[in-house]
Chains A and B, each alone.
Chain A
Amino acid sequence: MTDARTLSSPLDLQSVRADFPILSRELANGFPLTYLDSANSSQKPRQVVQALEDHYLRHNANVARAMHQLGAEATAAYEGGRDKVAAFIGAPSRDEIVFTKNASEALNLAAHTLGASLKPGDEVVISEMEHHSNIVPWQLACERTGATLKWFGVTEDGRLDLSTIDELLTERTKVVALTWVSNALGTINPIADIATKAHAVGATVVVDASQAVPQFPVDVSTLGADLLAFTGHKVVGPTGIGVLWGRYGLLASLPPFLGGGEMIEVVRMTGSTYAAPPARFEAGTPPIAQAVGLGAAVDYLTGIGMDKIAAHEQSIVEYALEGLKTVPGLTILGPKDATDHGGAISFELDGVHPHDVATVLDTRGIAVRAGHHCARPVHERFGVQSSTRASFYLYTTPEEVEALVDGLGFVRSFFKLA
């Protein structure tokens, strides 16, 4: 039905897909894998897996404290990962990159350390479209300190409701923590504009960029954020590593988060002094091989070109929105056009629960996510308990989107809606 549609993408999808062996897998009943769950976790190119393998098989040792040749190699590899990540997001200094275990830990680090100076009467502003990992740490920080949590609402068309910004951001606002791209709605938020207003009242701006860094070029030097978090496994890198970028001056002013090895300067039984950033925030043996893998991942994405990946995402989202609109009884949550729309689309199918949609699609090899996608409040905002989400990446083809649209037709007929 959609044969006439074409996709204009700057990527050579066949050659990109050849780097991801998993994408040519055949699943149960002979269906090829149609992987539409990259906002949950992206697939990994051979180059990243080979970098991990090479590190573990040839260079493995602990970092910094290991004073032998392999220790030096491992340290150089780990710190090389830091250099690559810094360059990838435009960080002015490599010392502004803190490695964590994931984006959740990065946001908890931000909430704990910024939270240390919060007091009753202070306010933290988030939004209703946050992932739970950018809600709960701030709720906990407010509970610990007596500060008050406030939030931006979401408009009917899935955008941040900025009409209340002048009431929300006041001299009491100490932290504004927002997602750049909503993992549930796909909405891209105007971070730079909000950051300007937040800074005008003296607030610190924390950005959850978990869905942004994978999708388009990011330059933290011009964004206006003070702290920014993302995770490795969504940027074709390994699991087990996340990143907190921070302005160096801010990081240097923050207290430690976790205590342990390598985060200290001098430890005495009567008290300790702490290392400078980023070591101050990297207690214990860090995710060494993962940093190597993440370095290979950002090299891979840079080699393809983040501008091209962004253009591809834009095309495929537009293509998918058009296709999904042809499915009877389907309602898209959030923005219905591709303007300022990231690579995830959540929807409801009238008469079929999202888990049942996902299970039926799964039997045709189509992997989507069903549930509240760790963003329950925004689902509540739209009066739904859960949704089905399809998300796309640099390897997603128009044929896969067609498979989804056809699959949804099959779901309807299976549940006798068509």
Chain B
Amino acid sequence: MHVLIINGSPRVKKYSNTNYILVKFTEGLRENGASFEQYEISDRGSWDQIRQAFDRNTVILIALPLYVECIPGLLIEFLETLTPKSDGSKLAFLLQGGFMEGVQLRCGEAYLKILAGKLGCAYMGTLVKGDNFMIRFFEGEWREKVTDPYADMGREYAVNGDFNSKACKKFTGHEKFPLPVRIYVGHILKTQAAKGFEQIAAAFECDKPLDFKPY
């Protein structure tokens, strides 16, 4: 199987959480005998190439971050330029986001089902996973702890050609945290996580409080 992978993140590849995920995902893909070619939407100079690859390939995966409950504006701008297919192409999605629970990504996932039809492709499912916000800020083992599990999903996809297996559904993790976990997570977010965000801001040389109101 040969897969066209489109990284739909508007963020440049160097800082793209989606790309860090794809690095691991494609390791698994290769291990199970699939080949791939990958393009980045953030590189507008490659859009002609991506369009040609979309027309040429019949197994396509679009990986993307959730932006305001759906797909990013830049990805829509690119998709608007495609000619819908009629060659039986199969389209799957890898949807990732920052929020931890699966429920946060379901509205975006629902649109991806619609989108596959609009692009004239068979919908092959969406791999849904949150809790990825920190990937770009992590390094070494910390980053790999988050991204390594995607290699398993690459192996699954290489075998099945879709994200409909039990393993892929389970990969999402908690759909909703049980109440005691929510209370605990809420506390961590207000304390340790808040402090962590302020430390990242300091590294960005931010000289204002994070709740500063400029307008």
* A and B assemble together: no
